[in-house]
Amino acid sequence: MNANQDDVVDASERPAGLLFGPGPAGAWDDERVSGPRVLRGPDGTWRMWYYGRDTQFDREINLPTGRCGLAQSADGLTWQRVPGPLTGGAVFEAHPDPARFDSAHVGLSDVQRRDGLYWMWYFGGDHSRQTFGQFAVKGLNLRPGCAISRDGRHWSRVEGPYRGALLDLGAPGEPDAALCAWPQVLECPDGVWRLWYHSLDPVRMRFVVCLAESADGLNWSKRGEVFGAGAPGTFDAGGVGTRHVIHHDGRYLMFYEGVAADGHRSIGLATSQDGVLWVRQPGPEPDGSVFAHAPCGSGRWDAFAVGTPCIVPLPDGGFRLYYVGSNETAGGFADEMAMRHRIGLALSEGPDYTRWHRW
């Protein structure tokens, strides 16, 4: 089955950047797909784990999350879904125990191959409800978890100390009191494991990136907020959300989803010498990002947002940027479920990771 069949058939007619769309009716991801994490194996096979949901998934959870799945490719361009053992062909889903942190929905945010195993860092929420200003939301008290697999299809959770999670929510007044979401982990050259995640600061109502550190990759200590919103009027004035951190040429690069005041999203770049102190790098796009959403009002599939970046270095020195795009809707960012999330691809201009063009 061609994974793109719901969007386009003829590659010559494919909208710029569009790579992978929702699955067929009845599949676990027949409504939306999001959050790609791509690995190229030593045998040349490309694998992409991603999250999404079907049309019957709990509509009260106003997020793109639900279950997780797997697709495979010979070139990283044309993808085939790999049926999983769970609901509708998923490979990972909410835990059946209602007492756990991930009992209502899950999404993944990092997959690595280590010591013959796949390691997935994911996040999940339960069925509880919270109030943010005028909005009452369900399942937003997100926490991070970890799972391992030998084949990428069958996963076993690594039990954490907080109802199964690796980290708990912060105390009232702390920047991660609302959620600890979209974890990404690196074992850094200095021997420290670092876990970056983001939260919605309930006081400032802005997204911020926080950091936790570990000596063994299992037991974590928080260091607090390390990267916050940009200046008023910038593409990231509303905060910083999903991100991908890589260590490249002796420094850390953070490709991140910047949230504008009106909710539109573009991808920015920050750099760091230690993974703790970050400096924004102005990008060449009109809004100051390194990869911007398509023009407002254009009707394009990614005119509202581009985000959840996944950077894949290539042997020739170039890079691929797998991302999620979403369309503009009448309700704007207030109604997540009205948007259609699909996965796209951009290519760097040679080794210059600040300049990208849609595939």
Percent of the chain with pLDDT over 70: 94
The mean pLDDT of 163-182, rounded to a whole number, is: 95
Whole-angstrom distance, CA of residue 193 vs CA of residue 121: 13
Kindly report which listed range (69-78, 125-134, 253-262, 337-346) carries the lowest average pLDDT score.
125-134
Q: Which two tokens stand for residue 17?
A: 């950047």
pLDDT, residue 205, reads 79
Q: Give the span between the Cα atoms of 106 and 35, in whole angstroms.
A: 11
Token representation of residue 233: 């009027």
For 239-254, what is each residue's pLDDT tens digit? 999 999 999 999 999 9
Q: Distance (Å, rounded) from C-alpha 22 to C-alpha 32? A: 5
- The position carrying tokens 């959403």 is 293
State the pTM of this model. Answer: 0.94
Return the CATH fold of 11-358. Answer: Tachylectin-2; Chain A (2.115.10)
Check pLDDT > 80 for residue 331: no
Residue 5: pLDDT band (50, 70, 90) is: very low
How high is the pLDDT of residue 11? 57
Instruction: Give the model's pLDDT for residue 333.
Output: 65
Q: Both tokens of residue 150?
A: 């030998």
Both structure tokens of 243:
């991100």
Residue whose pair of structure tokens reads 């020739």 in the numeric block: 316
Give the pLDDT confidence score for residue 133 in this predicted structure.
Answer: 67
DSSP 94: -
Coil, strand or helix at 185 = strand
Does residue 129 surpass a pLDDT of 70?
yes
Residue-by-residue DSSP string for 18-75:
EEE----TTSTTSSEEEEEEEEE-TTS-EEEEEEEE-TTS-TTS-SS-BEEEEEEESS
**Residue 54 to residues 26, 33, 61, 89, 181: CA-CA distances in angstroms?**
7, 9, 13, 11, 21
Would you state the pLDDT for residue 9?
36
Domain ranges across the chain: 11-358
Q: Between residues 96 and 10, which one has the greater pLDDT?
A: 96
Handedness of CA 264, 267, 272, 275 (dihedral sign): positive
Residue 10 has pLDDT above 60, yes or no: no
Which DSSP state fits 335?
-
User: 240: number of CA atoms within 13 Å, CB side?
Assistant: 25
Higher pLDDT, residue 198 or 130: 198
pLDDT digits (tens, 9 = 90+) for 221-280: 999 999 999 999 999 999 999 999 999 999 999 999 999 999 999 999 999 999 999 999
* pLDDT band, very low/low/confident/very high, at 334 (cuts 50, 70, 90): low
